[in-house]
Amino acid sequence: MSELNYKASNIAKAERLHGENFFTTLSRLGDESLSISNLLFVLEAGGLTEDEASEIIDNDGIAEAIKAAVFGLTSAGFLAKNKEVQKVRTQIEKDLLETSQATGEKAKA
């Protein structure tokens, strides 16, 4: 998986390219309004090309892509390193584990 590099210039570039607000789109990752284009945008804001972001989603699944974004954003300081973030991380990891155990395959949402 390509490493995400969330920094102001990458985020601004993705915002200009997509005509979207990064923080508004980021807030949609955890709710029912999540779309593939939103997830691609968030990954591209981490410095990936559209093809690289698409490859992560295609190969690793939506849940893994969201997990990578959360970890990248936390590492870059865009998400607070607090109990709520840890709770989200734990829930994503639990969901991924349950999915992979149920299907016997790599977790894909």
Radius of gyration of the chain (CA): 13
Distance of CA 9 to the CA centre of its chain: 18
Residue 9 has pLDDT above 50, yes or no: yes
Residue 94 has pLDDT above 50, yes or no: yes
Least confident interval from 1-5, 20-24, 48-52, 70-74: 1-5
Contact criterion met (CB below 8 Å) for 96 and 63: yes
Which pLDDT tens digit goes with each residue over 40-76?
Answer: 999 999 999 999 999 999 999 988 898 899 889 888 8
Domain assignments of the chain as residue spans, ordered by start: 8-103
- Helices 36-45 and 50-60 cross at an angle (nearest 10°) of 120
pTM (predicted TM-score) = 0.72
